[in-house]
Amino acid sequence: MTELERTGVDSLKVYVARGFFARARGLLLRHPMPSGCVLYFPDCRSVHTFGMTYPLTIIFLDRQHQVVGFKRKVMPNRIVTCRLASAVCEMTWRKESEETDSKISLLAQSLKQLLAGC
């Protein structure tokens, strides 16, 4: 996986899943990601949570990295899809920091800035 990092007030660490095995594995068999960490899947419109042991927040992005959909608290053993998406982000869902629409939009803006050079 490729790692992109932005530091500052709204720090964000993005791991880009490239290649068949990184994309197929995703967050499977990994510890929950810390807050501010995202796994990004380019050229993707659906993900699965089979084998996961914790819930995820899934964010769907279009080609311009605008949010076209998201799902909070996706439980293990599910498939989520968005036909409008061209990329997907996975992050660990946390009850104490429920992702609001504005937080998801801010995350997408940060992602857009980070991914501009990819």
Domain parsing of the chain, residue ranges: 2-115
Q: List the helix and strand counts (H, then E) for the chain.
A: 2, 8
Query: What is residue 118's predicted lDDT score, i.e. its pLDDT?
Result: 55
In tens, the pLDDT along 78-102 reads 999 999 999 999 988 877 555 566 6
Evaluate whether the domain defined by 2-115 bears CATH number 3.40.50.720.
no
Judged on CB neighbours under 10 Å (0-12, 13-18, 19+), 70 is buried
Q: What secondary structure does DSSP assign to 1-37, as a single string?
A: -EEEEE-STT-EEEEE--SHHHHHHTTTTSPPPPTTE
| Main-chain phi, psi angles of 96, to 5 degrees | -70, -20
Query: What is residue 9's predicted lDDT score, i.e. its pLDDT?
Result: 45
Answer whether residue 52 shows pLDDT above 50: yes
